Each structure stands twice: as C-alpha cells, then as structure tokens.
Chains A and B, each alone.
Chain A
Amino acid sequence: MPSGRVAMSAAGIEQALVEARALRELAAGINLHSTGSAWRSPARDRCDVRLDDLERQAQVIARKLELWAENEGAASLRVEHL
C-alpha cells in the first residue's frame, strides 16, 4: 500500500541527473582544450595540474550526484511500496 510519503520527488532526482550530465560535459570540454605547446614554463605546468584537478573534481561531483540520485530513486521506490 503506498504510504504517500515519497523520499524524493522525481523532478528533484531528474534535476540532479541533469546537473551531473552538465558537469561531465564541462569536464569533457576542459579535456578538449589545451594550453598548446608553443611555450613551456613552470607557470604553464602549474596551470596544467590545476586544470587536470578541475576536470577530475567535476567528474567526482558528477558521480556523487548520480549516486545520490540512485540512492534517492531507490528510497522513493521502497517508500512507494511500503
């Protein structure tokens, strides 16, 4: 019997997944860009490290959002069937 208490609305879960996709697209976009090869310098190397970290952090947060959406989706289903 449905309890009527839904842990999370479907719209919220969908919104989280949209933002996760956006984060993955941003990370892919960073990966498509390059600082070029014309100049080498410690400053450029430091920027490259920060870029890699930015890309990785965007992927990490996207994954966490996807897991959150999975978690909330599963909770919603269980609540619906209590």
Chain B
Amino acid sequence: MSEDHVLALAAYLGECEQRLDVTRESLAGIQVASRDPFTEALSHLPAQSLAPLVLGVEKLANEARSLGDALSHYAHNSAEQERARVRAWEVPRDRVLALLAVTLARVDPVAPFDQWGVSEAAQAVVGTPGPHLVEVTAVAAAEGGPLPRATNIAERVGRIPAGETPIRIERYVTDSGETEIDVYLAGTQEWGVGATVEPFDMESNLALVAGVSAASMVAVEAAMGKAGVKPGDRVSFVGHSQGGLLAARLAESGRYATSSLLTVGAPLGTVAPSGNYPALAISHRDDLVPELGGASKPTRITHVETHSGANAFDLAGAHAREAYVDTAARVDASPARENFPHWESAGEGNSQLFSAKRVMN
C-alpha cells in the first residue's frame, strides 16, 4: 500500500517520543554541581543549568507525538481517497476495456460482467489459443558489427529491434568473467484484430494479457534456444510494449537466472513482476498502451512515469520506441540514476537478430 511509508514514519516518531522521554528524565536527573564564587571566578566557565535543554527535549517529545498522530491521520485519509479513486476509475476502466474486447470479438461472456477484468476479457477474445507454429530464423548480426555491452538505459532501449527482426540476443563475457545474455524484444508489429503471419500481433498481445499461450512467446523462446540460451543461464530482458510484457513474463518464468528487467511502454498490469532482481519499468503518462494492461497489481519493481514530450493526441508518438530512448536518456541523467539497475560492462560480444513468422493453418 502507498501509505506504508507514512505509517512507518509515524511509527518511528512514536519510538522517538518514547526515547525522548527517556532522554528528558535522564537529563533531569543530572545534578549540576554549584561552584563556589572563588572557583567560578577563576574558571571563566560559569555553571550552566540543564533545565532549558530538559524543557527543549520535552517539547521535542510532544512534537514527535503530535506529528506522528498527524501523519497517521494523513495516511489513513489519503489511503481512503486512493481506494475511492480505484473504485471510481480503475475498476470501471477494466470493465469498459472488457466490454470493448467482448464487443469487438463478438463472444459471449462466461461470467457475470461485473466480475470481469482485462485479463478475463482478453481470454474470452482469444479463447484457448495454440499450439502455435512459428518459424524463427537467425538473420545477419546487428548493424555496425559486434558492439560492447550496453550499460546505460538509453543505449539498451535503443538496441530494442524493430520491423522484420523483433528479437535480438547478445552474449557477453563481462569484465568479471560472468557470461551474460541480453535479450531485446520489440513491440507489437501488427495492430489488426485476429491472428496474422506476424507473431508479434494483437492476438499475441491479448493472449499475453490473458496469461495464455502467445505466438510471440513461442517465437522468443525458439530464438533463445537457437542462440544457445539454456535454462538457468543469466539473462537480462529488455522490451518495448508487447516486448516488455514478454520480457516480464520470461523474467518471472523461473526458467532463467534473471539478472535484470527493463521495460518501456509495456502493459504490465496483469503481470506484477516480483522484482526479485534489478528491474525498471518506464512509461509515458500520455501513452495509452501501458494502460491496456488494466489496473496495476502490487509489485516491487521501480516504475518511472513521465510525459513523453509528444504533441497532445499524438498517441503513436507517445508510444514510439524513439520517444522512450529520449526518456531513457533523461533517466540516465537524473540524480536518481544510482537507484536504478546497472549492467556490468563487457567487451565485444556475439549479437544475433531473429525474424519470426507464424505458420498459418
């Protein structure tokens, strides 16, 4: 809950009050010896009473108690407002998204509508898809030849591929001798309704939100297999949009020793990554795609939200990978950078790009 910070502080102030009471009693118990006039005159150090300080500590204790009470009151009020906001906005938004999905796909609800969320709606639309047949092909290595490992956020977002080759896998031996694999995943390539030859399509988006089998996930796992990535390998996942959702699901799968997760513009609402590894999610407030994941579940990953800088109503601009590269550069330059994931540097590694095509029945 968001009020945890404030309540922890209020509890600490309660401890402060108790400790200050101990301090006040302790200071009040110190006997300040009186000096005889001869000693006083010679020492130039007149005896000072502790009474003003005892009074000061008593005031501090009172203020700690009063402030703790005010913070508790504030936290409870704010939490109530937050819950009201969720009731008024988040839940109806899920219902509307569910209604849209059901209407578009012309399917019958299988449960009372007021119990539906985004995940249930997405599942109703895609049904139980799969098994998916996907052809994955390794194509020429990344542009510009072998590159050193990307160690800042902007560089990593910039390496997310686009277009014909939505999967990029890099393998490095870091300066400390660890083998690290970086998997970069593109966003949705085909926004039409229904399955297409492109596995990174809208159907895969819905399937991932619903938590069922997705062709894009099959493609990524096939590419990782072709690149020699084995269960238990140390893998850092980076993804934009649908690629971010894929990255989060793979990071959480337990099949790999996930060493980090970085997503931009990803609809993570139904995933709730545990954050048992360095993780950062960046989203633009004016980007609608992250909202399509539905109401966010509690998660321990770091989430940076900011405005894209795109013109009003430029929805594509707000979601574009290029816009997120610019935002990532701002995050790199921010004073808070130390709190975000870091990646160990490595010299030139092996980099591969993969294309993927769905085999249509």
Contact = CB atoms under 8 A, between A and B. Distances in A.
B31 interface: yes
25 contacts: A3-B39, A7-B45, A8-B33, A9-B33, A12-B31, A16-B27, A18-B26, A19-B26, A26-B16, A35-B5, A36-B2, A38-B5, A38-B78, A39-B81, A41-B74, A44-B6, A53-B63, A57-B63, A58-B60, A60-B56, A61-B56, A61-B57, A74-B43, A78-B39, A78-B43
Contact of B47 (A26, A50, A65, A75): A75
A75 B36 CA distance: 12
A43 B81 CA distance: 14
Interface centre among B3, B22, B50 (most CB of A within 10 A): B50
A67 to B, nearest CB: 9
A5 B35 contact: yes
Interface string B33-47: 101100100110101
B30 interface: yes
B125 interface: no
Interface of A: 3, 5-9, 12, 15-16, 18-19, 22-23, 26, 29-30, 33-36, 38-39, 41, 43-44, 47, 50-51, 53-54, 57-58, 60-61, 64-65, 68, 71-72, 74-75, 78-79, 82
Contact of A82 (B5, B31, B39): B39
6 A-B pairs closest in CB distance: A36-B5, A38-B2, A75-B45, A33-B9, A12-B30, A19-B23
Nearest to A29: B12
B8 A30 contact: no
Given A15-B30, A47-B70, A54-B63, A23 B45 contact: no
A82 B42 contact: yes
Given A7-B45, A47-B67, A54-B64, 15 more contacts: A5-B35, A9-B31, A16-B50, A18-B26, A19-B26, A30-B16, A35-B9, A36-B5, A38-B82, A39-B81, A43-B74, A54-B67, A58-B60, A64-B56, A72-B47
Contacts of A29: 12, 16
A78 to B, nearest CB: 5
Nearest to B73: A43
Given A22-B19, A26-B16, A78-B45, A35 B71 contact: yes
B53 interface: yes
Interface centre among A7, A50, A57 (most CB of B within 10 A): A7
B86 interface: no
B12 A30 contact: yes
A8 B43 contact: no
B33 A7 contact: yes
B40 to A, nearest CB: 9
B278 to A, nearest CB: 20
A82 to B, nearest CB: 7
B48 interface: yes
A41 B61 CA distance: 25
Nearest to A26: B16
A66 to B, nearest CB: 11
Interface centre among A38, A44, A53 (most CB of B within 10 A): A38
A17 to B, nearest CB: 11
B126 interface: no
Contact of B74 (A22, A44, A60): A44
B88 to A, nearest CB: 16
A16 B30 contact: yes
A23 B23 contact: yes
A30 B64 CA distance: 10
B160 interface: no
A6 B56 contact: no
Contact of B53 (A50, A53, A61, A71): A61
A36 B6 contact: yes
A34 B56 contact: no
Contacts of B16: 26, 29-30
B32 interface: yes
